[in-house]
Amino acid sequence: MSYVAPLKDMLFNIEHLARIRQVSALPGFEDAGLDTAQAVLEECAKLNEGVIAPLNWEGDKYPSSFHDGQVTTTPGFKDAFKQYAEGGWQGLQHPVDFGGQGLPKTIGAACTEMLNSANMSFALCPLLTDGAIEALITAGSDELKAIYLEKLVSGEWTGTMNLTEPQAGSDLAAVRSRAEPQPDGSYKVFGTKIFITYGEHDMAQNIVHLVLARVTGAPEGVKGISLFVVPKFMVNKDGSLGARNDVHCVSIEHKMGIKASPTAVLQYGDHGGAVGYLVGQENRGLEYMFIMMNAARYAVGVQGIAIAERAYQKAVGYAKDRVQSRPVDGSLSAAAPIIHHPDVKRMLMTMRASTEGCRAMAAVAAAAYDAAHHHPDVDARKDNAAFYEYLVPLVKGYSTEMSLETTSLGVQVHGGMGFIEETGAAQYYRDAKILTIYEGTTAIQANDLVGRKTSRDGGTNAKAIAAQIQKTEAELVQRGSANALAVAKRLTAAREAFVDVVDFIAANTRSNPNAAFAGSVPYLMLAGNVVAGWQLARALLVAEDQLAAGTEAAFMQAKITTARFYADHILSRAPGVRDSIVEGADAVTAMAVDAF
């Protein structure tokens, strides 16, 4: 079946959970209220449903190809990207000073989800460009901004991130690409970069590579890494494109999923050196690259939500059509669509509740990002920044792991037909796997959560979030409905488990690091589960109010049912995870290496 953007759920989150009224009160966002959000999302849905989504399966069957140094993308991609760029979608969240629309992340995140649901392979190109734009806005010189930003924001040019090398994956201290200073202030860059998404393609006139490399004589380790702009084509003083730079694609990878997205091996400097330009200061490259990576990590989390939504829609469509066996309760006398079977409903509800919980969490994180960057009060900016920074590894780690479970359930709902490529269910499962790996594996997100986000402040920020959750519990109890009380019970147990784990992590990270890090990924999954469940609890309160007022009765009832399911079937996992972390660390580390 074709993709239909979940606009009602997105707008519900934007209005009631992310509180777009408060976002539109921030300086610079005065025109970005609910009406604007609805108009933008509806227009975005048209492009993604009508133009980009139909290319998704085509990209899986006819991936990007490589021949004589050139990459040709899937038929239809180039024209679709032209429409995407001409519609102004690349510049949606970027500053008006560089030709963007300057809309808040609260709105932009929903558009990012639609694009990735429609076609994740296609969406990776704009995702990487967004990261390059963010890095240049933050650290680029006025000259670099003048040359590159408008073209990137317009979508005429695209951007890449060049971190990984054959010997340097997650350990960027091992980066060996080098940069030699030149008399004119430029640098000559040499080295090999692998896993470069859209490192070569035919959809844009120029590709702007942001490359990590070491300046000659720089310190070893992460302290000696600098960041460079290395364009595919040199840019003349009048802005026109000049000679081809010395950066070339030597191959593209053959992958399990996201097949239409060309993943390139790039060679720099085989013919005298690729001309590069320093971004910011020497030896601060990793700091700048983290700007790109943080933007990309949030976006990858949204990709998880997006692919889960697409798999859910596909599974629901199949479950309504596939006739097999009579319902177990005897409610129908003949064989019926499988959606009548309780276990199929359980799988579909798990898919739906997980996706909606993560979508709500991402929406709230986006609003915090907007406040962190635009709120006039310095303390409010600081609080929102801390909240957002804590949520980034949850959005990335929990949402992508969720997408694996959800897309796997999508195949399961299809039964044997899910294992057959022609149904299309398997593509979502294959595409989802990369999300737990790139832009930092789930373990790296968990390391960030343990080290930077919990241990560093002794769990203070995490406990401040727990205090907010406790307020929602009190509201649920005060509401007193059967659903509210049931959700309150689960949320309280989950929050208490969360606080226990935060205390354990804060107490052990330095004194007993093996114990803390043995539970790092379970801690991330627990935290993501609790925050997503908290947002659905907030959604339940809103939906009950809206239902009482007679607003969108069917939608609001479904929202209440989904929140209750999440609490009973997903949030209820939290106490068990707490036990495995706090009481089970020794079992992780006890086995001798030789015994494996």
pLDDT digits (tens), the chain, 596 positions: 699 999 999 999 999 999 999 999 999 999 999 999 999 999 999 999 999 999 999 999 999 999 999 999 999 999 999 999 999 999 999 999 999 999 999 999 999 999 999 999 999 999 999 999 999 999 999 999 999 999 999 999 999 999 999 998 888 888 999 999 999 999 999 999 999 999 999 999 999 999 999 999 999 999 999 999 999 999 999 999 999 999 999 999 999 999 999 999 999 999 999 999 999 999 999 999 888 788 899 999 999 999 999 999 999 999 999 999 999 998 888 999 999 999 999 999 999 999 999 999 999 999 999 999 999 999 999 999 999 999 999 999 999 999 999 999 999 999 999 999 999 999 999 999 999 999 999 999 999 999 999 999 999 999 999 999 999 999 999 999 999 999 999 999 999 999 999 999 999 999 999 999 999 999 999 999 999 999 999 999 999 999 999 999 999 999 999 999 999 999 999 999 999 999 999 999 999 999 99
| Cβ pair 417, 423 in contact under 8 A | yes
Calpha distance 449→6 (Å, rounded): 30
Question: From the candidates 113, 150, 200, 439, which is the catalytic residue?
Answer: 439
Question: Residue 4: CB partners within 8 Å, gap ≥ 6?
Answer: 49, 313
Instruction: Enter the CATH code of domain 7-143.
Output: 1.10.540.10
Stated pTM of the model? 0.97
CA atoms within 13 A on the CB side of 168: 19
Phi, psi angles (nearest 5°) of residue 194 = -120, 165
**Structure confidence at residue 295 (pLDDT):** 86
pLDDT of res. 289 = 85
- Using an 8 Å Cβ cutoff, are 150 and 140 in contact? no
Give the other-Cβ count within 10 Å of 15's Cβ.
Answer: 17
Structural contact between residues 159 and 152, judged by C-beta atoms closer than 8 angstroms: yes
- CA–CA separation, 536 and 568 (whole Å): 12
H or E stretch at 195:
strand 187-197
Q: Can you name the residues that pair with 180 across neighbouring β-strands?
A: 188
Helices 342-374/378-414 angle, 10° precision? 160
For position 1, what pLDDT does the model report? Answer: 65
Instruction: Kindly report, as residue ranges, where domains of CATH 1.10.540.10 are found in the chain.
Output: 7-143
Taking the C-alpha atoms of residue 254 and residue 256, their distance in angstroms, rounded to an integer, is 7
Please name which of 66, 103, 294 lies closest in space to residue 196, comparing C-alpha atoms. Answer: 66
Say if residues 2 and 54 touch (Cβ distance below 8 Å).
yes
Predicted local distance difference test score (pLDDT) of residue 201: 98
CB proximity list for 559: less than 8 A, separation 6 or greater: 12, 356, 539, 540, 542, 543
Residue type, position 254, single letter: H
What is the Cα–Cα distance from 366 to 360, expressed in whole angstroms? 10
Residue 171, pLDDT score: 85
How many whole angstroms separate alpha carbon 530 and alpha carbon 570? Answer: 9
DSSP-derived secondary structure for 522-564 = HHHHHHHHHHHHHHHHHHHHHHHHHHHTTSSHHHHHHHHHHHH
Confidence (pLDDT) at 396: 98
| Residues 6 or more apart whose Cβ sits within 8 Å of residue 578 | 497, 498, 500, 501, 526
Which residues have a Cβ under 8 Å from the Cβ of 155 and sit 6 or more positions away? Answer: 81, 84, 85, 86, 89, 90, 91, 126, 129, 204
Contacts of 69 by beta carbon, 8 Å cutoff, 6+ apart: 200, 248, 249, 250
Domain with CATH 2.40.110.20 in the chain: 158-284
Whether 309 is catalytic is no
Pairing assessment for the beta strands 247-252 and 157-162 based on DSSP bridges? unpaired
CATH topology of domain 158-284: Butyryl-CoA Dehydrogenase, subunit A; domain 2 (2.40.110)
Among residues 460, 448, 455, which one has the least CA distance to residue 396?
Answer: 448
Type and span of the H or E element at 83 = helix 77-86
CA distances to 143, 157, 237, 502 from 240, in Å? 15, 12, 7, 54
Q: d(Cα 579, Cα 498) in Å, to the nearest integer?
A: 11
Cβ contact 391:534 at 8 Å? no
Centre a 10 Å sphere on the Cβ of residue 21 and count the other Cβ atoms it contains. 11
